[in-house]
Every structure is written in C-alpha cells, then in structure tokens.
Amino acid sequence: MDRIRIRGGNALNGTIPISGAKNAALPLMIASLLTDDTLTLENVPHLADVEQLIRILGNHGVDYTVSGKRLATSSAGSGRTIHFTARTIVDTTAPYELVSKMRASFWVIGPLLARCHKARVSLPGGCAIGTRPVDLFIDGLRALGAEIDIDAGYIVAEAPGGLKGNRYTFPKVSVGATHVMLMAASLAKGETVIENAAREPEIVDLAQCLNAMGARIEGAGTSTITIQGVEALSGARHRVLPDRIETGTYAMAVAMTGGDVTLEGTRTDLLQTALTALGDAGAEITDTPNGMRVYRNGNGIRPVDVVTDPFPGFPTDLQAQFMALMTRADGVAHITETIFENRFMHVQELARLGAKISLSGQMARVEGVPRLVGAPVMATDLRASVSLVIAGLVADGETVVNRVYHLDRGFERLEEKLGACGAEIERISG
C-alpha cells in the first residue's frame, strides 16, 4: 500500500496547475446516461474516483474514448478530454460491489429512472464521515412520480410512463440530491421547481452542461431552480470547471509554509469565503490573468474562527486543511463543523504531530503551537489525508502518511505538484 513521505521545512514557491473539479466531473459523467448521443467532457482530472465511475458507467453500457495523452504520459494538471456514449442502456442495476466503493455512483438512479423508467441501485458507500442518508434522494424522486422500495440493500425504483414534473422543497440542503433531481427532472413531463436547492458551483456547472444538451434549466446557483422537462437530450461538449477544493488546499499549504505560489487555471469566485478566512489568517491573495497568487512572507499565522456551511459558506471539504493551518497559529482558533457529524477524525492524527486540539461536540478548539514534529500518521478519509500533508510540510523531521489511496480519490498527482514548488515529498510504493 502506497505511502507519502515528507520532510518539512521548505517554503513553497512556483506555479501549481489546478485540475478539473472531481465534484463536478462525477455528476457530469453520470449525465451521459441521459442521452444516446456522445457527451464530451474536457478537463477531466486523473483520479481514482473518475476511473471507478468509468467502470460503473460501463456496467450500464456507456462506452468511452480518451482524446490526447493518457495518464501515463500526461503532465500534472493536464486534464483529459473524454467522450462518453450511452447508445443503449444494457443494465439498469448498479451493483453493490461497484456502488459501495464510491458514494457518488448512487446518483445514476436519476438518469436511469428518467431515461429507462426503472433503476435498481445499491445503497452507497464512500468516506465514513457521517450518515449522509439517501432519504432526500428518495423523497425527491417520489415527488416526480417514482415508485420506490428498498429490497435487500437496494433501492428499487420504477416510473411507469415516465417521471412527471412537480414542486419539491428539500428539508435540508443536499448537493448530491440536487444533482440527481436536476438530471431526473430534465426528462420529466412538465415543469419541476426545486426549492432549497444546493447553490454550489458544481450545481451550476451541471446545469450549464445539461442546457447545452437541450435541457431547459433556470436558476441554478440560487436556492430555487426551475426545470422544463424535454422529450430527449442530445450530445454536447463541456469543460469541467476548476477544482475549488484543490485550489483552497494548495492555498492553505502556501499559507502554512510561507512562500509565493501562483495557482493556475482557477477562479477566486469559486471559494471566496475560504479565501477571506485565509486572508484573515495572514495570507495575501490576488487575482492573476489565469488564476490567483497566494503568498505569505515573514508574517505569522493569525487564529481565525470558521463555521462550515453550504455554499457560499466555508466548505466542509476544506475544514480539515484549515484546521491543519490553525495548528501553527499565534493563538486559539475555533472550528465548527455543521455538515457532517464525523468529520473530525483527523484530529487525533494531527495530535500525533504535536497539535493541541480539543473537541466539544461539533466544535474544535485549536491552540496554535510553535512547532510540529514529524511522525507516522494514518489517513482516515479524503480531505483528512491532505490535512496531514499540509501539517507535514512544516513539521520538523519526517512525516509518513499511510493509506494514501484516500488522497488518490480526490487529488491529482499531489506530490508532483508540491514537489515542483520546493516541497521535499515523495510517494513510497508497496
């Protein structure tokens, strides 16, 4: 099993290319099930989750081809162009052995119901960071006329005669359920109005792609989205938006180590709340013609309190990284997690490096320390694992991060990108 070894102490200087967003690429790939034409996606990142979803889509009959260089020869940050064609849906069952490996694969239930009027999808797996129930998905699809039962660990759904437009209000904001409702309602008969919808940039990206395929969606990026169902969707070409979580992660790494790095191919508007918190902590952030510049030279790290919240609030997917940064702050910071109840599993691993963190319910009190010390640590989930890398970049001596397969699910060639900016970091295979 691969590990990552880091020797801390080097400031980061240079340029880091930002990849296409995993959280946008996955629903966009699933949208290929909605049409028998070809959907071409540009800027698709090289990630384990992308490869797993390709296998899952293949199980349903989706063919794919890759344009240009493949993973083995492409440079860091150069996303692929992949053509997906679901000419014929050969199987409407998404089996446990595939879905259990990645939660987002559950989202195929929306397109399969919309196009084939039936679906049998295993209850999902993914990171163990909270319950994340599928009730919101089920209730939303039932509002569109789906008949849904749970049988032996599978959601069995049918929509005889097709889905029908309706008004549905989410009792709680859910990015995944909003993705599914957008795709399902695109082929439903009549108008669908989704209230209390997620507002994340990835929702907007999916809506733009669906509209390019012939859907009629208005209001994406607001809490009320209106979809006029159409009889069929066509193919399209769409570029995956930049990864705001990767952007924020590297920005926090620069703030942690000091230095001066240009994050290329990204946009500050995708994560303004997080960047504001970084600025308050002492980092300088400026727009560039093709991204942003992040630097911290000489000044210390100031403590900043943050509360995670759905977009445009502080992203839960950057909470662990910001906590790592706060371990070196000059004072005490409080970090409150409101999205997932089990998303403090990185605390005990950061403590192994010398961090002083105490928990009270869903709030972490982080008392900054003058130094961290390298040690073996264990990645517990995708975002927690990269927080350990950030801490290791400034820790004295050697830090070894185990179980880095979590990292490979969401960060494209992380050690190469950091190494190119001066970090002493390497992957150890086996």
Is 174 annotated in some ligand binding site?
yes
Residue 209 annotated to the active site: no
Is 244 annotated in some ligand binding site?
no
Is 55 annotated in some ligand binding site?
no
Catalytic residue among 116, 127, 209, 421, which? Answer: 127
List the alpha helices (DSSP H) in 61-168: 96-99, 109-116, 135-143
The CA distance from 239 to 90, in Å, is 27
Is 5 annotated in some ligand binding site?
no
Is 216 annotated in some ligand binding site?
no
Is 109 annotated in some ligand binding site?
no
Is 69 annotated in some ligand binding site?
no
Is 317 annotated in some ligand binding site?
yes
Is 118 annotated in some ligand binding site?
no
Is 156 annotated in some ligand binding site?
no
**Whether the Cβ atoms of residue 233 and residue 214 lie closer than 8 Å to each other:** yes
Is 136 annotated in some ligand binding site?
yes
Is 95 annotated in some ligand binding site?
no
Is 80 annotated in some ligand binding site?
no
Of 256, 257, 213, nearest in space to 237 by CA: 213
Give the residue numbers annotated as catalytic, written as ranges.
127
Residues in binding site for phosphoenolpyruvate: 22-23
Residues in binding site for UDP-N-acetyl-alpha-D-glucosamine: 103, 132-136, 172-175, 317, 339
